[in-house]
Amino acid sequence: MTHVSELQFPLLKVLNADGTVCGEIPDIPAEKQREMYRGMVLARTLDQRAFNLQRQGRIGTYAPFSGQEAAQIGSFALLEQDDWIASSYRELAGLVYHGLPLAQALLVSMGHPHAGYMPENLNVFPIQIIIAAQTLHAVGTAWASKLKGEKNVSVTYFGDGATSEGDFHEALNFAAVYKVPVIFFCQNNHWAISVPVSQQMATPTIAQKAVAYNMEGIRVDGNDVLAVYTAMKKAVERARAGEGPTLIEAVTYRLGPHTTADDPTRYRDEEVWKGWQERDPLIRYRQFLQSEQLWSDEDERLAWEEAKQKVEEAVEMAESFPKPDPAALFDHVYESLPDDAAEQKRELQERLTRGEGY
């Protein structure tokens, strides 16, 4: 039996952990490079603030993404406004960089119905909670784009745990058979809640799963924003040229818990965690920019200051957003409410009118 080894899917890298160059630097305008780093700073600021808001009881359960900013922003940087995006609940860094308002990003964890209303200028699906379900949605939009002769691509983001779901394999098979312009972007952060990758699959890489579906597979250092950009550029160009789907495995690490309801100290090795902290994508990219004379200490100070101000304004806006009518939970599900649901809605409205709450 032929064994597809890890060596056939080497880890694409451009920067070492200390920011020194070890690969081919992609052709990115200087201001675009600076913009990408500012996006990473804003994302980290948002993530830390949201975590604290949850601990203060001001938002609900939250899924942190610190440590995965390079994987998201390095890939979103190649997408156009009319490209389709189907994401999971851990892609707020990329979605905000792509144009999702900061306040709306916070409304997601506030459980506000408006969080599902994506801006009209973005082809972005509402954030998906069901693991791997969004992979099929992206294949659908990609197939539609192909049938209509459009050049926009579809991208679906998911974690390593999603590759253990049937939807993932069905999506890859369908995409390969119909050769649709879709990119499967897996952020392999090593953990599906408390289950390590080693217990999810027997293969040494996720990228090699592309072989079974006869599609392109790329494995990239997910903490190296320039390497991610390079990998995504190849995938986007292939999709727009009609060359079919690509599976990208971005090897990264979730520095925080799975969600604020999780305690990673119960299952994660502290020394391994410390090692990944030293590979922080923000530090790596900043050191590179400074070595290229594209970033200064003053730029750094201003970037964090501006990010903090933007996030605080977003918090104020999200918390002042009109509270939804509790009875609205019955809306937007059925075209016509079934009799039992209609009766429950009437009962709830009467209780609210009497001030009894729900």
Give me the catalytic one of 98, 137, 219, 254. 254
Give me the catalytic one of 267, 334, 346, 358. 267
d(CA 37, CA 42): 9
| CA dist 53 → 11, 46, 135, 257, 312 (Å) | 36, 10, 30, 15, 11
CA 185, distance to chain mean position in Å, is 9
Per-residue tokens: 14: 């451009």
Per-residue tokens: 39: 């996006």
Give me the catalytic one of 90, 258, 279, 284. 258
Residues 6+ apart with CB under 8 A from 109: 50, 53, 54, 59, 60, 61, 62
Task: State the distance between the two ends of the chain, measured CA to CA, in whole angstroms.
Answer: 61
d(CA 33, CA 319): 33
Contact 14, 288 (CB under 8 A): no
Contact 282, 304 (CB under 8 A): no
Identify whether 267 is a catalytic site residue.
yes
Active-site residues: which are they? 254, 258, 267
